[in-house]
Each structure stands twice: as structure tokens, then as C-alpha cells.
Amino acid sequence: MSRLLILFLSIGLIACEQQSDTAAEAPVAASGDATGPKLYVFDCGRIRLASVEAFNLKDTDTDVRDLSAPCYVVDHPNGQLLWDAGLPSELAAAEGWVVRPDGLSNTLDETLASQMDRMGLGFDMGSLEYVAFSHIHWDHVGASNEVTSGTWLVQQGDYDAAHADGNMSVPAVQPELLVSIKERPTQVLAGDHDVFGDGTVQLIAADGHTPGHQVLFVDLAETGPVVLSGDLYHFQFSRANRVVPLFNVDAERSLQSMDKVEALVAMTGADFWLQHDASLFDAQQKAPGFYE
């Protein structure tokens, strides 16, 4: 499995210079040990749309209006990676649906930090090894101010955007949600990155939606490989029809990233987890359960 991925990444290095990086060059294949990563899924809120126009769709293209906003933790023998941080934590203090200034409704039952504390999973916001977001949009970094541990793994494009205070060229970014993470130790990435060095957990650069958008590949021993897709797509319709949303920094790069990730999915046979797909999310096992 890992060898296939390494091959894919090596091909990617040649074919896609802009997204290349040293991490893809020499990951060591997992040695068949039974202690592979576990993947936890957390409910980090839900978004309700009045219309799908902003996603470059006609309202008749899909009847989906509710989007899930999960957080995930990959529990690897060498540490935990937090992948995405959902809706803003302050939302949990409000009852039911709250209308945002941009007109979207959103709701959050319980903060990620509270969920971790309540579940006693052996890790919490203060014991993480790494933190990575698919991108810096508000609905993917909402709990980041509660992160008190770990190294932030961020692609150069999103790093630059996060530090461009007062000059936000990227839509849907709320700088106040990025205050603490910018103080964390940070590893700025220039492409694909093998997080634990054994090929089981890989950040795959997939920019376009934002300048540093990425997806996460996790090779699970029993479940098989999965790709956590960030906002590569928001709807199954968008995936089937290669539709790029209107709030997006580079449509051409988005299409290239779709091709890159779909090639990875085809080569590895990975299960594709479209993160905002609420019906998929509802059917998935949630923490304290896990995939392994």
C-alpha cells in the first residue's frame, strides 16, 4: 500500500513540479506492525445553506443544504495529528442555529476540547504532536485557539495568507480564529509531506480553494486507505462534475488538484471522505469509537 503511494508521489514529483517536496522522496514503508494509526471522527458542527449559488451550482443541482464540519484526530504510535478544527468554539455557547453575518446558519453542540476531555481518549488539545488544517477557512479552524500543543503543519500559501493581516485576499478567513495557531511552532510545507515518516499519514498538497489547501491520506490497517478531502469538493455533485466554487482563489489550480487527488484515490483504492457530506458523516463511527 505504502509503496503504491510512494510511487504515486514520485510520479507526482515529476509531473507536478509546483507541488513537489522532499517528504515524498523517502518515506519508509510501514513494517506490517499491528500498531498502525487510529482515526477518530468528531462532530465539530454543522452549516445550513439557503442556496448553493456560492458553490457554482444551480439550486436544482443538489437538494443538499446541510453540511457537516468534522474534526479528526489521527492517533499514530508516534503522536497525534489533529486534522481540521471545525466551526468556531464560541458557537457552542449558543442554543440551536445561529445566523452568521454572511447569512449562513451554523450550530455546534460541544467544543472539540470538551469532547476530548469528556471521552478520556488518552490525548487532548494539550498533548498533540501535530496540527494541520485542510485550509484556513473559518469552518475548518474553529477550535484552533484552544490548541495548546503540537507543531502546525501548513502549506506555504496558507501560511502567507494567515500572516497577511489586514490584507486578506483569501475569502472566508476570520483572522481572530488564527491568533493562537500562529504562535505555535510551525513547519511550513512546500508540497506533499509524510507526517510520521512511515507513509501511513500523508498531507497531500491540493491548492486552489485556498493558496495552501491540502488533503489528508491515512493508510489504516483494517479499514484500508482513506482520503480526507477538506474542501476539494463540498458536494458529491461537485465531485461528479468537477465544479469549482465561486469563493475560491484559483480555479485552474483547483482543477489540477482534483486530478491529482483523484489519481491518488484511483491508484490506492482509497475511500474518499468528502468532509462536508453530512449523510456520509452521519453514517460514520464517531469518537470515542475509531477506525483502524
Q: Smallest gap, in angstroms, from Cβ of residue 146 to Zn ion?
A: 19
Site for Zn ion contains 139 (CB under 5 A): yes
Q: Which stretch, 4-12, 98-106, 134-142, 241-249, contacts Zn ion (CB under 5 A)?
A: 134-142
Q: Smallest gap, in angstroms, from Cβ of residue 46 to Zn ion?
A: 12
Q: Smallest gap, in angstroms, from Cβ of residue 192 to Zn ion?
A: 21
Binding residues for Zn ion, total number by CB under 5 A = 2
Q: Smallest gap, in angstroms, from Cβ of residue 231 to Zn ion?
A: 4
CB closer to Zn ion out of 124 and 139? 139
CB closer to Zn ion out of 235 and 290? 235
Site for Zn ion contains 231 (CB under 5 A): yes
CB count in 10 Å sphere of residue 289:
11
Q: Which stretch, 174-182, 231-239, 242-250, 251-259, contacts Zn ion (CB under 5 A)?
A: 231-239
CB closer to Zn ion out of 45 and 150? 45
Site for Zn ion contains 158 (CB under 5 A): no
Strands 214-220 and 201-205: antiparallel
Q: Smallest gap, in angstroms, from Cβ of residue 269 to Zn ion?
A: 26
CB closer to Zn ion out of 13 and 54? 54
Q: Which stretch, 3-11, 131-139, 195-203, 251-259, contacts Zn ion (CB under 5 A)?
A: 131-139
CB closer to Zn ion out of 219 and 231? 231
Q: Smallest gap, in angstroms, from Cβ of residue 14 to Zn ion?
A: 31
Which positions touch Zn ion (CB under 5 A)? Answer: 139, 231
